A and B are shown apart, each in its own frame.
Chain A
Amino acid sequence: MVAEKERLEREVVAMRVAKELPDGGYVNLGIGIPTLVSNFIADESVVFYHSESGVLNCGPLAEEDEQDIDLINAGGQFLQPVDGMAFFNTVDAFAMIRGGHVDVTVLGAHQVSARGDLANWMLPERGVGNIGGAMDLAAGARQVIVAMEHTDRQNRPKIVEDCTYPITGKGCVSLIVTDLAVLQPTPEGLVLKEVAPGWSAAEVQELTDARLIIAPDLKEYEL
């Protein structure tokens, strides 16, 4: 069964996303797999992190005995104080996002459509949602990368022809990195660019609702 084949670890997905971050770029990481991305930046490159909690150039998470309630990221996790940090208020935090100053945001998703619509704020079956800053990031960041598992907990495809969940942003996603594949939404449809080792394009298609356009230079997941 394709569904039971081994998939990539979350860390490997994060490692693949890390390759997409521009040297010297300003990057906002969402919660979940996106948070892990900062662990895999190549030694020779520098990435500046932006958090809508109101801090730029923030560092790694704090050790347990050094947690400070006045130094948190957007997920409420405690940060280490590092040289070069800058604090700002919420209006400025979102001006940085909406004004096109944040180069890349990496977000998780419930669903992404073939044309790059993003749904990541509400599960209708639960009835409640927290929008937070996701909608502003989707509309404002220069590039939106989604990092997620290819299917949900019931093994239903999360990459769909059209989102059935309420969307966060329309046509905003430029790259999807999952535990099975790297895909690019385009106006013509969803292009399959890379597959996880041991997986074929046909097997990835079986777990994807949207019809895949196989890239002529389809590769194995490149780390």
Chain B
Amino acid sequence: MAQEKVYASPETALADVFEGAVILVAGFAGCEVPRLLLRGLADRGVGGLTCIFSHDAPANEPANASANESAVHGSVAQLVDKGLVRKLISPLPFAPGAGGVVEERWQSGALEIEIVPQGILAERLRAGGAGLGGVFLPTGVGTRFERGREKRSFQWGEALLESPLKADFGLLSVAAADTLGSVVYQGTGRNWAPVMAMAARVTIAEADRIVEPGGLDPEAIITPGIFVNRVIAAE
């Protein structure tokens, strides 16, 4: 009998997250950030984490948002605040809305930060998820991002060798999942989820809706269930 993918709670889905794990956090500017799972991670309290993410706090709250949303839901900044994070890898670690805690911990030397251009991060994750040995990108040529990277000249120009990124866990927020782990997204909420689902050894999705097989149009599935190991209900 195959392993059941639907888990009862964030707590059970995150039970094997270990000290020093590398965690991918999908979402962009507050859009489809896996807040229940982040909150679950904060409650679980394992430390030494490396979090790879783009931008988890909303730049703007919708005027019509319910008032208690951000109060009860988790964020990467909350994990940093609780001292659970050793390192952040992100294009926007100091994004507005992230709060002062990231900058404060970084200034004090308690938190390591690696800033990676967004498109490079995307291709590094894809390389990790797709089994590539690395990828040559033109982004950053002639800038300080050249440091420590192999540069090669091609007919079309110069490019830097970027290394693949893989992770232990990937956390997603999705519009709907079936019980086999295939998922669909809503609007710009898709962002990092498909590539992060590929790059993580264990991908966990919090889904607004969970349906039986056949409940999603197979033509419309964006991330097939082979990339998603666990599903929890977002409500």
Contacts and interface: CB of A to CB of B under 8 A. Distances in A.
A132 B137 contact: no
B188 A87 contact: yes
A131 B187 contact: no
SS class of chain B's interface: helix, strand, loop or mixed?
Answer: loop
18 contacts: A53-B31, A54-B188, A72-B30, A72-B31, A75-B59, A76-B97, A78-B60, A87-B185, A89-B194, A98-B138, A128-B93, A130-B92, A130-B95, A131-B116, A132-B92, A136-B117, A139-B137, A166-B144
A135 B117 contact: yes
Contact of A90 (B95, B103, B195, B222): B195
B122 A91 contact: yes
B191 A53 contact: yes
Range, interface on chain B: 35 or more
A94 interface: yes
A129 interface: yes
Which 10 A-B pairs give the minimum distances between C-beta atoms?
A: A76-B59, A170-B142, A136-B119, A94-B119, A76-B29, A70-B187, A67-B62, A135-B117, A133-B118, A89-B194
Contact of B28 (A64, A68, A87, A90): A90
Nearest to A78: B62
Given A65-B64, A94-B119, A130 B93 contact: yes
Contact of B63 (A64, A93, A130, A167): A64
A34 interface: no
B143 A166 contact: yes
A130 B63 CA distance: 26
A128 B92 CA distance: 10
B145 interface: yes
B120 interface: yes
Given A54-B191, A132-B117, 18 more contacts: A52-B118, A70-B188, A76-B30, A76-B59, A87-B185, A90-B122, A94-B123, A97-B119, A98-B137, A98-B138, A128-B93, A130-B92, A130-B94, A131-B115, A131-B118, A136-B120, A139-B139, A168-B143
